[in-house]
Structure 1
Amino acid sequence: MIMTKAVLTLDDAKRIASGAETEANQNDWPVVIAIVDDGGHLLYLQRFDNAQFGSIEVAIEKARAAIAFRRPTKIWEENIAAGSLRYLGLPGSLPIEGGLPIVIDGKFVGAIGVSGVRSHQDAQIAQAGIETWISGS
């Protein structure tokens, strides 16, 4: 039997990025937005004017970590802050808030990673992108 699955399309990624861009622009935050598919492969990357180039790889890795482990990257940041240092060596994890998985009907289809401002602001931008996409705006 062949199974079917929901996939994140380039159009979906662009809508998510648009919502994230709106949130970043409203706050005048120069960031990098990365969106990956369910295999962690880059679908979309946007670097704002004046965003530091170091944030490119960080945004991609936040997204990859969020889909690889199917959880927000904030989880590792919180665990490490609480003293659980074993998470520092977990391959593919990134203990910096700002990576969120993208879910359709309970299925993980991709993730968004944002980097460039404080990590909780990166997460705010990522969440705004997902919420825009969910609402269909």
Structure 2
Amino acid sequence: MFVEHGQRLLCAFVRMDGAPVQAIQISQDKAYTAAGFGMPTAQWHEFTTQDAPLAAGAPTSIARFVPYGGGLPLMVDGRVVGGIGVSGGHWSADNTVAEAGVTALA
């Protein structure tokens, strides 16, 4: 997922054989959340567990919002230029794969 002229565009997508069909949308939404907020999706869990109004409102009022690991922003010169989203495993494993993707693109 990359940000171009304010638009979030899907630039590349790969799905492993046998991965759950739902992982398609979840991975894209993780990338969208990470790129849109400029922070890893895993950080949202901390925010929402420490803030009851945010925990109640964010998941239902922010479209495509994913508050668990597997989404990372892509940064260039301190600016968000996109995001990577991974889904299909436990969120911690998804996060590890997303980190490898960011490293590969660096």
CA contact (8 A) 2:33 2:41 kept: yes
Q: Distance in 1 between matches of 2:56 and 2:44?
A: 8
Letter in 1 for 2:67: P
Matches within 5 A, 1:40-59: 40-59=8-27
Number of residue pairs matched? 99
Q: Distance in 2 between matches of 1:58 and 1:45?
A: 12
- Within the candidate set 97, 111, 115, 2:69 is matched to 97
CA deviation after TM superposition for structure 1 residue 37, in Å: 0.7
Corresponding residue of 2:102: 130
Structure 1 residue runs of 4 or more that deviate by more than 4 Å after TM superposition? none
Corresponding residue of 2:54: 86
Q: Which has the larger radius of gyration?
A: 1
SS of the equivalent of 1:44 reads coil
SS of the equivalent of 1:117 reads coil
Q: Distance in 2 between matches of 1:121 and 1:40?
A: 25
RMSD: 1.5
What is the percent sequence identity of the aligned residues? 32
TM-score by length of 1: 0.66
Unmatched segments (≥5 aa) in structure 2: none
Letter in 2 for 1:40: R
CA deviation after TM superposition for structure 1 residue 84, in Å: 3.7
Unmatched segments (≥5 aa) in structure 1: 1-35
Query: Does 2:73 align with 1:119?
Result: no
TM-score by length of 2: 0.84
